Amino acid sequence: MIDQIRYIDLTGDVLLSSGTVAYLGAFTVDYRLQCQKQWQVLCNEKNIPCSSDFTLSNTLGDPVKIRAWQIAGLPIDSFSVDNGIIVSNSRRWALMIDPQRQANKWVKNMEKTNKLSVIKLSDTHYVRTLENAIQLGTPVLLENIGEELDAFIEPILLKLTFKQQGVEYMKLGENIIEYSKDFRFYITTRLRNPHYLPEVAVKVCLLNFMITPLGLQDQLLGIVAAKEKPELEEKKNELIVESAANKKQLKEIEDKILEVLSKSEGNILEDETAINILSSSKDLSEEISEKQKIASATEMQIDSTRVGYKPVAVHSAVVFFCISDLANIEPMYQYSLIWFINLYVQSIAKSQKSEDLEERIKNIIEHFTVSIYNNVCRSLFEKDKLLFSLLLTVGIMKGKDQIDDEVWRFLLTGGVALDNPHPNPAPDWLSDKSWAELVRASSLTNLKGLMEHVRENFSKWKLIYDSVRPHEEKLPDSWSMLMGLDRMVILRCLRPDKIVPAVQEFIVENMGRTFIEPPTFDLGRSYNDSSCCAPLIFVLSPGADPMAGLLKFADDVGMGGTSIQTISLGQGQGPIAAKMISQAITDGTWVVLQNCHLATSWMPALEKICEEVIVPENTNDKFRLWLTSYPSEKFPVSILQNGIKMTNEPPKGVRANLLRSYLNDPISDPAFFSSCRKPEIWQKMLFGLCFFHAIVQERRNFGPLGWNIPYEFNESDLRISMRQIQMFLNEYEEIPFEALTYLTGECNYGGRVTDDKDRRLLLSLLSVFYSKDIEQDKYMLSYIEYLRSLPITTHPEVFGLHENADITKDNQETNQLFTGVLLTLPREAGGGGKSPQKTVEDLAQDILTKLPSDFDVEEVMKIYPVLYEESMNTVLRQELIRFNRYGSMFCVALLRLKNACLSVLAAGKL
């Protein structure tokens, strides 16, 4: 009966399968399922029979083949299995969007025994490799392509073959070669969201191979189980291979039986050979079935043990997707799955052991989360470190179903600004924008009645609005019970300038204080985490120059002098850099390539060197490749993913800035710190200089209130001023404050200052620290411990500014934070929110209803006829015609804008 139903439904199922293979490869799993459901509805409306539980694997999948794919490295989730089916069934060659190298690994393993050739468009001999493979009928994998394809491979993509004397040929360039039907062609790209022109997209089968949460969870579960219970994991892998072999053998037996039945002539009972074959096949089939039952039972027992570690895998998969979204904020924030898994394995090994499973899981999760935070933070700009902490916190809480997606979206956007029919109850202090947001917030589940309460008790809410620290105030009446994001939504409406400290509190409450205190820059730790084959990349920001610190570090580890070579890239410098690298990997020295962003045309050559030349078997263990670059979309993704990235800009906040100064060279060097003859006054003046350095940098955040012109004060200003203090203290009995003030204020820092008012301010700030009062006992401090006790957020009075100076700066930080988070979010609404398409349509409709109607020109002309004596009536008529035309043009423009927005939203699902 079931088979009969499936037979009837086959027409619709094949139709849906064909549509999936032809059109849906490039889309995400959610969008594929959505389209398939819509197609099912259409099939039912058109009376085309199809399965209610349609899946691509049930219709086109071969279980034996799928199991073989999974053994070769294809993830086990249904999305990845569907991808495998699309690759094997599509008439066009597959171009796989593969940032995590999943498809790459699968194709290499699957085709290893078939003499697979792996090529890149940058290879010098890739044409010859392709020609040979086409003639011999062997597979080819073209990897790491960009957004454009070489015109040479167009005949291969279009399968432009022709026959001569019964033999199939293909013209490649100027050559005509024999075309083998066994030839297979795979293409992969590392780009996360490539934009292929239509003329490229129609020649290939675009396929989204980005890893899914389920697929990653299974991988991570396998790793943690293999490390914690190696004997069980080994047994499971044996069972998987055995099960695949059993299923393959059963399939072969079934095929053999069908062949015997189809070839048998007359009465099969009289055919002794056929009976013997059927009998032996039956015995073998029963034997294999019994083995399969035992294997399945054993596998279930193993799975029940493995599943105990599932919380680790689920948590870690959530963390990975938080990291992968960072590339939407900044192109340099690229991290590979291999890098992630290496950290994961390290955490399993280094985290505290325990016999208690729950305790052990907790230890692994805590160690891994902190490890990821520290490793990612060192590669982020200061502006994005809190953003990453928030993404990590919300991502982990979402994984535990602790976040209402509608509230989260509202916090980031303030809702959609439609018409507000409710009048503002307190326009003297509450802005219309804030009131409109409060009205919209009242539609959220936990904030129903908020608008009415504010309207009836606005004097109570004014206390929150007027507070210096509104994020710490208790909300009026029953609203005091609000927690987390709900509370932050109200703060966003009333005082958005205090969202950043509220976010910090939210992170501390849910994750711990560690996650709002980014680690200070530590070149030694980054070096220890590196290897001879992993480049170390300084991601530059204005005013940052890591070279002095790098050269000092090279001296400290015995790689100074001739052991380190530097070159600034630019026109014609690429071949010289390549020779340097070639020599250094043999000699075991260091090479520093500065300003990679200025040599974008040479970056593909550098990528090839990193992948093919700097390999373990050819490279001296002491060799290191250091790169410096400003953010650039042209920087090779593979280098970013596999390298160790570092930023070296001033940390955010006076506290972090002071800690950075004290924990880095030269203060961190005991020889330098203890080499002054007057240790007490030396330490006081050093602290004063570091505090001054932090203040002049942090004042830039206040815009024109801080400095008329934003200056890029940097570490070199601080470093030379320190050395001058030490020199003067060692050489003079009396402290020459005037000379030190001149050198630090007029030369070192003042040399950058061009505005006379800014120079005056700089000297005034410096006079607070370069003063005879510093010799008194009241200036005494215990430095590092004191610095750690300072508040994370600095009060404006520290900079000599009024407390209201913070408002503009804090509003900018809030907008920057929310804009960054929005870049990482999918373009689909979650929870009970409206879809983006519906929101766009509602906005367009709302705007259209507010437009005035066209003027009735004929009616106006009756009242104000065009007369010689009334020339202004002519002008009136012309203006009315123009106004009506303008209204029509505006409506057309609005409709076009709406359609463009809807197109962008659809494209965003790629």
Amino acid 273: pLDDT: 64
Shared domain check, 545 and 574: yes
Query: Final residue of a domain: which of 616, 647, 678?
Result: 647
Does 82 fall in a domain?
Answer: yes
Shared domain check, 698 and 584: no
Other C-beta atoms lying within 10 Å of the C-beta of residue 203: 18
- Rounded to 5 degrees, φ, ψ at 714 are -140, -175
- Contact, 635 vs 602, CB < 8 A? no
Shared domain check, 417 and 373: no
Query: Final residue of a domain: which of 619, 647, 675?
Result: 647
Closest to 693 in 3D by CA, of 716, 669, 725: 716
Query: Judging by beta carbons within 10 Å of its beta carbon (0-12, 13-18, 19+), is residue 773 exposed, middle or buried?
Result: exposed
Q: Take residue 780 and report the two structure tokens written for it.
A: 């005494």
| Helical residues (DSSP H) of 307-380, grouped into ranges | 310-324, 337-350, 357-377
Q: Domain range spanning residue 556?
A: 523-647
Amino acid 781: pLDDT: 44
Find tokens 């910090």 and name the residue: 504
- Contact, 769 vs 689, CB < 8 A? yes
Does 344 fall in a domain?
Answer: yes
Shared domain check, 753 and 731: yes
Q: Which helix (H) or strand (E) element contains residue 157?
A: helix 154-158
C-alpha 636/C-alpha 753 separation (Å) is 37
Shared domain check, 171 and 35: yes
Shared domain check, 752 and 690: yes
C-alpha 507/C-alpha 391 separation (Å) is 10
Shared domain check, 307 and 370: yes
Amino acid 221: pLDDT: 87
Shared domain check, 478 and 616: no
Does 806 fall in a domain?
Answer: no
Residue spans of beta strands (DSSP E) within 68-193 = 94-97, 117-119, 140-142, 161-164, 167-172, 175-178, 185-189
Does 804 fall in a domain?
Answer: no
Enumerate the β-bridge partners of residue 897: none
CA distances from 187 to 84, 355, 361, 885 (A): 14, 47, 39, 52
Enumerate the β-bridge partners of residue 790: none
Q: Which residues of 442-471 are buried (b: 16+ CB within 10 A; e: fewer)?
A: bebebbeebbebbbeebeebbebbeeeebb
Amino acid 510: pLDDT: 93
C-alpha 836/C-alpha 830 separation (Å) is 10
Closest to 824 in 3D by CA, of 398, 440, 490: 398
- Contact, 243 vs 295, CB < 8 A? yes
Shared domain check, 666 and 631: no
- Contact, 191 vs 99, CB < 8 A? yes
Give the domain CATH number at 738.
1.10.8.720
The segments of the chain whose pLDDT lies below 50 read 1-2, 780-782, 828-833, 907-910
Does 803 fall in a domain?
Answer: no
Give the domain CATH number at 176.
3.40.50.300
Closest to 102 in 3D by CA, of 87, 120, 117, 91: 87
Which residues, 6+ apart, have CB-to-CB distance to 521 below 8 Å?
378, 646, 647, 648, 651, 660, 664
- Rounded to 5 degrees, φ, ψ at 779 are -90, 5
C-alpha 872/C-alpha 882 separation (Å) is 15
Does 6 fall in a domain?
Answer: yes
Q: Take residue 267 and report the two structure tokens written for it.
A: 């009465």
Closest to 834 in 3D by CA, of 769, 905, 885: 905
DSSP state letter for 415: -
DSSP 649-713: SPPSSHHHHHHHHHHSTTTT-HHHHT--SSHHHHHHHHHHHHHHHHHHHHGGGGGGGT-SS----
Query: Final residue of a domain: which of 617, 647, 677?
Result: 647
Enumerate the β-bridge partners of residue 97: 189, 208
Question: pLDDT, tens digit, for every residue of 788-827?
Answer: 666 666 666 666 666 666 677 777 888 888 888 888 876 5
Shared domain check, 551 and 502: no
Which residues, 6+ apart, have CB-to-CB distance to 618 below 8 Å?
585
- Contact, 393 vs 505, CB < 8 A? no
Shared domain check, 673 and 567: no
Which residues, 6+ apart, have CB-to-CB distance to 866 below 8 Å?
873, 874, 877
C-alpha 536/C-alpha 642 separation (Å) is 9
C-alpha 882/C-alpha 864 separation (Å) is 17
Q: Which helix (H) or strand (E) element contains residue 566?
A: strand 564-568
Question: pLDDT, tens digit, for every residue of 37-54?
Answer: 999 999 989 898 988 888
Does 815 fall in a domain?
Answer: no
C-alpha 716/C-alpha 665 separation (Å) is 11
Total domains present in the chain: 6
CA angle, residues 406, 407, 408, in degrees to nearest 5: 90
Which residues, 6+ apart, have CB-to-CB distance to 728 below 8 Å?
735, 736, 739, 740
Q: Which residues of 723-741 are buried (b: 16+ CB within 10 A; e: fewer)?
A: ebbbebbeeeeebeeeebb
C-alpha 376/C-alpha 64 separation (Å) is 41
Sheet holding 644-647, edge to edge: 564-568, 590-594, 624-629, 536-539, 644-647
The tally of CA atoms less than 13 A away on the side-chain side of residue 801 is: 24
Instruction: Compute the chain's Rg from CA coordinates.
Output: 34
- Contact, 322 vs 392, CB < 8 A? yes
Does 796 fall in a domain?
Answer: no
C-alpha 647/C-alpha 628 separation (Å) is 10
Amino acid 830: pLDDT: 39
Examine residue 666 and say whether the peptide bond preceding it is cis (omega within 30 degrees of 0). Answer: yes
Q: Take residue 663 and report the two structure tokens written for it.
A: 């924990």
Question: For the chain, how many residues are written?
Answer: 910
Question: pLDDT, tens digit, for every residue of 52-110?
Answer: 888 888 888 887 788 888 888 888 888 899 999 999 999 999 999 998 888 999 999 99
C-alpha 171/C-alpha 19 separation (Å) is 31
State the pTM of this model: 0.76
CA distances from 66 to 74, 182, 188, 241, 449 (A): 9, 20, 20, 12, 55
Shared domain check, 595 and 494: no
Enumerate the β-bridge partners of residue 118: 141
